[in-house]
Amino acid sequence: MLVLINGVFGVRMREVAGRLGAAVDALEFTWGTPVVVDDVAKKLREKTYRIVAVVHAETSTGVRNPVAEIGALLKGTDTIYLVDTVTSLGGIEVRMDDWGIDALYSGTQKCLSCPPGLAPLSFSEKAMAKLGARRTKVPNWYLDISLIANYWGQNRVYHHTAPVNMTYALYQALLLILEEGPEKVFKRHLDNHLLLVKGLEEMGLKMVVEKPWRLPMLNTAYCPEGLDELAARRCLRSEYKIEIGGGLGPLAGKIWRIGLMGHTARKENVERFLDALRKVIS
Amino acid sequence: MLVLINGVFGVRMREVAGRLGAAVDALEFTWGTPVVVDDVAKKLREKTYRIVAVVHAETSTGVRNPVAEIGALLKGTDTIYLVDTVTSLGGIEVRMDDWGIDALYSGTQKCLSCPPGLAPLSFSEKAMAKLGARRTKVPNWYLDISLIANYWGQNRVYHHTAPVNMTYALYQALLLILEEGPEKVFKRHLDNHLLLVKGLEEMGLKMVVEKPWRLPMLNTAYCPEGLDELAARRCLRSEYKIEIGGGLGPLAGKIWRIGLMGHTARKENVERFLDALRKVIS
């Protein structure tokens, strides 16, 4: 398989696949920049892959990867297109069928604003056919879709005890998004992202990611020169009850990661944060 | 490894281990009877195993296996003793250290009376040393204890987003058991089990499991001859809002499985059930 990497969660995908015995090639891109579609196209001309995998919203850097464009390269091939939508689902558009995604997984605790503990996932017909044609057993009994499909189907064959309460929580979380309207939810994320960026730039901070690739729900900015970034985050937390993230990997100590996910993506939160940060860095 | 099997969950242990690539031997015993310690001792004289695994409370048959006695056979050896306590924990005594258990897993949704969704587990020092000395990576990244241990330890290294709300639920469930007192909780399970057995036998039903091996939290009785057992269970559910289980595997269609777990192990529930069953089978 080919894993496209430009942050922590791409690295993790490679690690997970490698542990399961997959032969993994990787294309790596500078953290803070998106996957370059032309480089992927070139790689795909050199070699055919059973799976191509990418993270939609790189939570470690704030980059939105060109998922639709990569999907277009795979159209009509036998390759399974695997996309991590943990941070994107519920905050920006995710078009599984239109973008040719075959296997997609997410989390409940980001833009769905549901408690953590579930990983919603979806498979295309193509992926289900591939899973159904396996000649070896999945190493992980708990995640064997061929067994779980017997429960999903007409037979309702017991597989494992479902996390019922979490399922109700997810149902409610999705209902809240449908009631507000997904388009409005996406616009709310975008509007508050733009408000945040404007405020950060007015304070003299520089955004890490180029404009077209910025994630509204995960905003990264370089810390001002000479400032103790850890002390600033600690002060935000202790004095203002606001927690933001530090940089990871090559960006550790250099950037801040500011989440605006689901219910937290609101004007009053952005304004409260900007006020607090202004005081902390002044 | 050696898996001791006398029900569905022993079979599942073998399946899970086999999928992970383990070379699995099994000792099988008639469903509804306990693992025979002498047979295990004989097998252990023939061959040395890295892991010996058994289910404490076989939920499929209502049998309590002799976990302490099997543990005594393994004392002083290098063998890791793995025990499934999914249904036993919180309903009967589980003495991990005294019984020489090295790896133990349970579920929150049985006698702990907590929502389903977590699997509490515990490792002995011996098991942790074994895990620490692995030369190959665990296939399942999510369950790699060497990574999770970095979070448990001083470093608090991020591994995955924890199911926070479920953790609070488990905390509260354990608190309720400690407040009532574990000994009293075990006695409540036992007393209500005895009340149930007395009622079932007065109705002419025969228990599946011999007295010394009966689980208080999972009671199995043979359905009366000539009765449509599925229709009886459906009637219990629709008319009396009481759900009991049917038999599994070789016991399918022959037995009923009556749970008395955690908060449901109460006199009023036993009486309500006995009244309802009396009406259904008369």
In this prediction, residue A112 has a pLDDT band, given cuts at 50, 70 and 90, of very high
Reading the block at residue B19, the tokens are 């999928």
CA distance A267 to A270: 5
In this prediction, residue B158 has a pLDDT band, given cuts at 50, 70 and 90, of confident
In this prediction, residue A2 has a pLDDT band, given cuts at 50, 70 and 90, of very high
Q: Say whether pLDDT at A23 is over 90.
A: yes
Reading the block at residue A126, the tokens are 């193509």
Q: Say whether pLDDT at B156 is over 90.
A: no
Q: Which of B15, B115, B164 sits opposite A116 (nearest CB)?
A: B164
CA distance A262 to A265: 6
Cβ atoms of B94 and B87 closer than 8 Å: no
- Gap from A159 CA to chain B (nearest CA, Å): 11
Q: How confident is the model over A67-83, as a mean pLDDT?
A: 98
Q: Name the residue among A133, A89, A132 with its Cα closest to residue A111.
A: A89
- Gap from A167 CA to chain B (nearest CA, Å): 10
* pLDDT score for A21: 93
Residue A67 to residues A46, A57, A187, Cα–Cα distance (Å): 20, 9, 20
Which among A8, A13, A138, A166 is the top mutation candidate for probing chain B, defined by the most B β-carbons within 10 Å of its own β-carbon? A166
The top-level CATH class assigned to A181-281 is alpha beta
**Contact assignment for A19 to B115 by CB distance below 8 Å:** no
CA distance A223 to A232: 9
- Alpha helices in chain B, H assignment, sequence order: 8-19, 37-46, 67-74, 125-132, 145-152, 164-180, 182-202, 229-240, 267-281
Per cent of chain B over pLDDT 90 is 96
CA distance B48 to B109: 35
* pLDDT score for B249: 92
For B142, name the nearest residue in chain A, comparing CA atoms only.
Answer: A16
Q: Say whether pLDDT at A224 is over 90.
A: yes
Domain ranges of chain A: 2-106+119-136, 181-281
Instruction: Find residues 163-222 of chain B whose CB sits inside 8 Å of chain A.
Output: 163-166, 169
CA distance A64 to A281: 28
Order the strands of the B218-222 sheet from edge to edge. B218-222, B255-259, B245-246
Reading the block at residue A138, the tokens are 């999945």
What is the enclosing helix (H) or strand (E) of B105? Answer: strand B103-105
- Phi and psi, residue B57, nearest 5°: -115, 105
A26 class by beta-carbon count within 10 Å (0-12 exposed, 13-18 middle, 19+ buried): middle
Q: Say whether pLDDT at A213 is over 90.
A: yes
- Burial track B97-109 (b if 16+ CB lie within 10 A, e otherwise): eebbbbbbebbbb
Q: Is A139 on the interface with B (CB under 8 A)?
A: yes
Q: Is B116 on the interface with A (CB under 8 A)?
A: yes
Q: Say whether pLDDT at A155 is over 90.
A: no
Q: For helices B182-202 and B164-180, what crossing angle results, to 10°? A: 80
CATH number of A2-106+119-136: 3.40.640.10
Cβ atoms of A148 and A138 closer than 8 Å: no
Strands of A119-192, DSSP E: 121-123
**Mean pLDDT, chain A, whole residue set:** 97
For A136, name the nearest residue in chain B, comparing CA atoms only.
Answer: B19
Which among B9, B84, B109 is the top mutation candidate for probing chain A, defined by the most A β-carbons within 10 Å of its own β-carbon? B109
Q: Where is average pLDDT lowest: A54-68, A144-158, A160-174, A249-263?
A: A144-158
The three-class DSSP label of residue A134 is coil
**Contact assignment for A166 to B166 by CB distance below 8 Å:** yes
User: Which residue type does A61 have?
Assistant: T
Chain A residues in contact with B165 (beta carbon < 8 A): 115-117, 166, 169
Chain A residues in contact with B107 (beta carbon < 8 A): 161
Start-to-end CA distance of chain A, whole Å, equals 49
According to DSSP, the β-strands at A57-58 and A63-64 are: antiparallel
The three-class DSSP label of residue A14 is helix
What ipTM was assigned to the predicted interfaces of this complex? Answer: 0.91
* pLDDT score for A58: 98
Chain B residues in contact with A115 (beta carbon < 8 A): 163-166
Q: Is B154 on the interface with A (CB under 8 A)?
A: no
User: Looking at domain B2-106+119-137, does it have CATH number 3.40.640.10?
Assistant: yes
Cβ atoms of A185 and A177 closer than 8 Å: yes
User: Which residue type does A224 have?
Assistant: P
Residue carrying structure tokens 């009376």: B113
Chain B residues in contact with A107 (beta carbon < 8 A): 161
User: Which residue type does A30 have?
Assistant: T
Reading the block at residue A218, the tokens are 């995960």
- Gap from B124 CA to chain A (nearest CA, Å): 24
**Mean pLDDT, chain B, whole residue set:** 97
Q: How confident is the model over A178-183, as a mean pLDDT?
A: 98
For B161, name the nearest residue in chain A, comparing CA atoms only.
Answer: A116
Cβ atoms of A191 and A98 closer than 8 Å: no
* pLDDT score for A184: 98
* pLDDT score for A152: 86
CA distance B282 to B280: 6
Q: Say whether pLDDT at B107 is over 90.
A: yes
The three-class DSSP label of residue A269 is helix
* pLDDT score for A156: 87
CA distance A247 to A31: 11
Q: Say whether pLDDT at A165 is over 90.
A: yes
Q: Name the residue among B12, B76, B74, B16 with its Cα closest to residue B49.
A: B74
| Chains A–B, number of C-beta pairs less than 8 Å apart | 65
The three-class DSSP label of residue B77 is coil
In this prediction, residue A153 has a pLDDT band, given cuts at 50, 70 and 90, of confident
* pLDDT score for B153: 85
In this prediction, residue A54 has a pLDDT band, given cuts at 50, 70 and 90, of very high
CA distance A17 to A120: 19
**Contact assignment for B116 to A162 by CB distance below 8 Å:** yes
According to DSSP, the β-strands at B218-222 and B255-259 are: antiparallel
Which among B142, B170, B261 is the top mutation candidate for probing chain A, defined by the most A β-carbons within 10 Å of its own β-carbon? B142
Q: How confident is the model over A59-87, as a mean pLDDT?
A: 98
**Contact assignment for B140 to A19 by CB distance below 8 Å:** yes
Q: Say whether pLDDT at B152 is over 90.
A: no
Reading the block at residue B247, the tokens are 């038999």
User: Looking at domain B182-281, does it have CATH number 3.40.50.1220?
Assistant: no
Q: Name the residue among B37, B4, B65 with its Cα closest to residue B209.
A: B65
- Phi and psi, residue A79, nearest 5°: -65, 135
For B13, name the nearest residue in chain A, comparing CA atoms only.
Answer: A141
Q: Name the residue among A174, A258, A268, A274 with its Cα closest to residue A216.
A: A258
Q: Say whether pLDDT at B110 is over 90.
A: yes
